[in-house]
Amino acid sequence: MTNDELQMTGTLIPNSSFLIPNLNHLAMIMDGNGRWARQRGLPRLAGHEAGTETVRRVMNYCRDAGIRYLTLYAFSTENWSRPQGEVDGLMALLGAFIRKYEEELMEKQVRLRTIGNRADLSAGLQAEIARVEAATAHFERQVIIALSYSGRNEIARAVRRIAEEVRDGTLAPEAVSEAAIAAHLDAPDVPDPDLIVRTSGEMRVSNFLLWQCAYSEFHITPVLWPDFGEAEFKEALEAFAKRSRRFGGV
Ligand code: FPP
Choice from 28, 48, 56, 98 to test ligand 1 binding pocket (greatest atom count within 8 A of CB): 48
Choice from 31, 56, 115, 198 to test ligand 1 binding pocket (greatest atom count within 8 A of CB): 31
Give CA–CA dist 173/167, Å, rounded.
9
**Average of per-residue pLDDT across 108-120:** 96
Classify burial at 249, counting beta carbons within 10 Å of its beta carbon; exposed 0-12, middle 13-18, buried 19 or more: exposed
31 is catalytic: yes
Which ligand 1 atom lies nearest to the CA of residue 73?
A: 7
Ordered strands of the 195-198 beta sheet: 110-115, 141-149, 69-76, 25-29, 195-198, 217-220
Q: What is the pLDDT of residue 223?
A: 98
79 is catalytic: yes
Residue bearing the bigger pLDDT, 243 or 113: 113
If you measure from the C-alpha of residue 197 to the centroid of ligand 1, how many angstroms do you get, rounded to a whole number?
14
**Average of per-residue pLDDT across 29-38:** 98
Q: Taking all residues of the chain, what is their mean pLDDT, rounded to a whole number? A: 93
Q: What is the pLDDT of residue 8?
A: 46
Nearest CA to ligand 1 atom 5: 75
pTM: 0.93
Whether the pLDDT of residue 32 is over 90: the answer is yes
| Segment among 19-23, 27-31, 167-171, 193-197 with least mean pLDDT | 19-23
The 10 Å CB-count burial string (b at 16+, else e) for 25-59 is bbbbbbbbbbbbbeeeeeebbbbbbbbbebbeebb
Which ligand 1 atom lies nearest to the CA of residue 226?
A: 10
- Split at pLDDT 50, 70, 90, the class of 249 is confident
Output the ligand 1 site: residues, CB below 6 A: 30-35, 48, 51-52, 55, 72, 74, 79, 90, 93-94, 97, 145, 200, 225
Task: Write out the E strands in 41-182.
Answer: 69-76, 110-115, 141-149
Whether the pLDDT of residue 110 is over 80: the answer is yes
Q: What is the pLDDT of residue 22?
A: 84
Q: What is the pLDDT of residue 246?
A: 78
**What is the separation of C-alpha 168 from the centre of its chain, rounded to a whole number of angstroms?**
33
Choose the catalytic residue: 31, 33, 153, 194: 31
Which ligand 1 atom lies nearest to the CA of residue 72?
A: 15
Element (H, E) at 124: helix 123-136
Q: What is the pLDDT of residue 210?
A: 98
